[in-house]
A and B are shown apart, each in its own frame.
Chain A
């Protein structure tokens, strides 16, 4: 039945969505290249059917109504396929957006730049998109918003200074406000804004 293929794609999207919701973070399963391509092929087939119907109709003037019913069915099947394909891709690009706003974006972009993206779960076009979007965010953060750090924490600042513990050795780390020497299991008192990134990256743990 037409539309079954794209249903698989949408179910795939649903699974990814559920996974992201239950884990409260963003994952992208492998891009379903085959399903996408076969769905596009189905659309081509439908388009040919539609044209065939049209020419038949012009030739032998079959009952108008029947021809139009057939025509509608092919049209609706194409529409359905289009909706499924776009929804699948849109859900993925939304996930990429979310990744770009948090550390995964930085990581994946760095990974891409380092040529590690070859076996990634993203399609080539998605890699491009992620790079472009990361650049848009970078540009948004500059200019009048420079001081705001748009990609900073969305948890309200409750304490300016906090106690942190070092989770892994990382030597000296230069931050905007000074140098930290990160030795595993040591603790120190730091300005939250200074160490936010290091906490996000898993070097430090807030006590």
Chain B
């Protein structure tokens, strides 16, 4: 088979990360790339290197000015960060205070999920590992909050699995990684329930 069995039914967490890495995030560049038209003319012979990209917007990169925030794809931000060329502006929800608010919401509403961004778990994990010094609060405390959120939500998800049926489920505000983790179980059971009910469907048709 041209695609390994494990990838035929679901995505790997790395693939989910890849998808999320295309989302935009704000950075503080530490370098200036933008040059004035005059500067460019002067060095027309010796070409200044430009970014030319095929998967992400190149304009913000070519217009980078040190300390002026701009927005680039997450993977680019991480790469520039790795090279010491920028710091990353963490998303506003990634603070102890905000996360605590989400935790409170999750606890208060056992039947619902807070509207964290679809990519919260991936973004948090990537920034913890690769841009810890850009975060507002100590990373070990933030990690703790994210872990709490994950556990509370997972508990609720598992409660919700009792609702599996042969018709459909609505799962608003579940993040992309949480969905992916659940996928084999949810689809496996629901497809079997569907087959089970389909076995007597003809009788209903006749009735």
Contact = CB atoms under 8 A, between A and B. Distances in A.
B7 interface: yes
Interface residues of B, number: 13
Interface string B4-28: 1111000010110110000000000
Nearest to A95: B1
B3 interface: yes
B2 interface: yes
A101 B1 contact: yes
Contacts of A155: 12, 14
Contacts of B12: 155
Contacts, number: 22
22 contacts: A21-B5, A24-B6, A94-B1, A97-B1, A97-B2, A98-B1, A98-B4, A101-B1, A101-B2, A154-B3, A154-B4, A154-B7, A155-B12, A155-B14, A156-B14, A156-B15, A156-B17, A156-B18, A158-B14, A158-B17, A158-B18, A160-B79
A96 B59 CA distance: 47
Residue of B4, B7, B12, B15 with most partner-chain A CB within 10 A: B4
Residue of A21, A24, A156 with most partner-chain B CB within 10 A: A156
Interface of A: 21, 24, 94, 97-98, 101, 154-156, 158, 160
Contacts of A21: 5
Interface of B: 1-7, 12, 14-15, 17-18, 79
A23 to B, nearest CB: 12
A24 B79 CA distance: 32
Given A98-B4, A155-B12, A158-B14, 16 more contacts: A21-B5, A24-B6, A97-B1, A97-B2, A98-B1, A101-B1, A101-B2, A154-B3, A154-B4, A155-B14, A156-B14, A156-B15, A156-B17, A156-B18, A158-B18, A160-B79
Contacts of A158: 14, 17-18
A168 B75 CA distance: 33
Q: Sorted from nearest, which 10 A-B pairs have the closest CB atoms?
A: A156-B18, A98-B1, A97-B1, A156-B14, A101-B2, A156-B15, A155-B14, A94-B1, A154-B7, A97-B2
A197 to B, nearest CB: 18
A51 to B, nearest CB: 37
Contacts of A98: 1, 4
B17 to A, nearest CB: 7
A155 B18 CA distance: 9
A125 to B, nearest CB: 20
Contacts of A160: 79
A158 B16 CA distance: 12
Contacts of B14: 155-156, 158
